[in-house]
Amino acid sequence: MDSSFNLNIQRLALQIVPFFMAVIFHEVAHGWVANRWGDSTAKDQGRITFNPGPHMDLMGTIILPILMMASGSGILFGWARPVPIDPSRFRKFRPGLFWVSAAGPLMNFTLATFSAFAFALLNRYLPADFSLAEPLTGMALISVSLNFSLGIFNLLPLPPLDGSKIIESFLPYNALRQYEQLAQYSFWILLALIMTGALSILQGPIEFFSRIVLGLAVSVIGLPAGGGA
């Protein structure tokens, strides 16, 4: 069997769990914060759960990510089924919209940080001859950059991404309605960004923040310089 195919399968095996965690925790964060602001829609529909089932989207969570991972694509794109949110039920519309929208990316950044510390801890305390040492540290390392990727990507000001909702929380009503009209072109704008390679501009901040949290984790846990990172 072709060695590049085997390499892609190995990469897929390491990426799939961190990816599922990243997109599912992202949606759970939206639903949980919405409930705190008075909108129980996601809770009522059983979506504030870490059970993958209710969050799975056939194309966004399974087919597209697996195809991109297996092909060795440098861009990992996918999504879980969005949790239902009704902003009209928020106790206060603008701060509710802001914090509910920010909750998903903030969850990804939190997961990235925890993953960095998990990576450092695994490198320090797992015996070198432990059979799962390499895949576990590999998944933790992948989870750092993957969560920063998804979190930063979702901050793009393109409806319906979270970044657009954060901007909407500051807009007056008429400007908000005009801004929402951009949503009808979002797919084509996103497709153009992917095909032209424009999204590669995100690689800089993704790598920067990944290095920061990995360096912090390695420093705190006390690994030798370059301790596996």
**Residue of higher predicted confidence among 180 and 205:** 205
One-letter amino acid of 6: N
Band (pLDDT 50/70/90 cuts) for residue 70 is low
- pLDDT, residue 75, reads 55
Domain boundaries, the chain: 3-221
Q: Are 200 and 149 in contact (CB under 8 A)?
A: no
Q: Is 69's pLDDT higher than 60?
A: yes
**Mean pLDDT in the chain?**
87
Q: What backbone torsions phi and psi does residue 126 show, to the nearest 5 degrees?
A: -75, 135
Q: Are 136 and 167 in contact (CB under 8 A)?
A: no
Q: Are 217 and 119 in contact (CB under 8 A)?
A: yes
- pLDDT, residue 74, reads 54
Active site annotation includes 27: yes
Band (pLDDT 50/70/90 cuts) for residue 80 is confident
pLDDT in tens, 195-213: 888 888 888 999 999 999 9
Percent of the chain with pLDDT over 90: 52
One-letter amino acid of 91: R
pLDDT mean over 64-90: 77
The whole-model pTM stands at: 0.88
Report H helices in 37-154: 41-44, 64-70, 93-125, 133-154
Q: How many alpha carbons fall within 13 Å on the CB side of residue 188?
A: 4
pLDDT mean over 103-131: 93
One-letter amino acid of 114: F
Q: Is 40's pLDDT higher than 90?
A: yes
Q: Are 113 and 211 in contact (CB under 8 A)?
A: no
Q: Rounded to an integer, what distance in angstroms lies between the CA atom of residue 104 and that of residue 80? A: 12
Q: What backbone torsions phi and psi does residue 181 show, to the nearest 5 degrees?
A: -65, -20
pLDDT in tens, 45-63: 999 999 888 898 887 788 7
Q: Is 71's pLDDT higher than 90?
A: no
pLDDT in tens, 122-163: 998 888 788 888 889 999 999 999 999 999 999 999 888 899
Q: Rounded to an integer, what distance in angstroms lies between the CA atom of residue 30 and that of residue 104? A: 6
Q: Rounded to an integer, what distance in angstroms lies between the CA atom of residue 64 and that of residue 103? A: 24
Neighbour tally for 160: CB within 10 Å: 13
Catalytic residue among 27, 168, 180, 207: 27
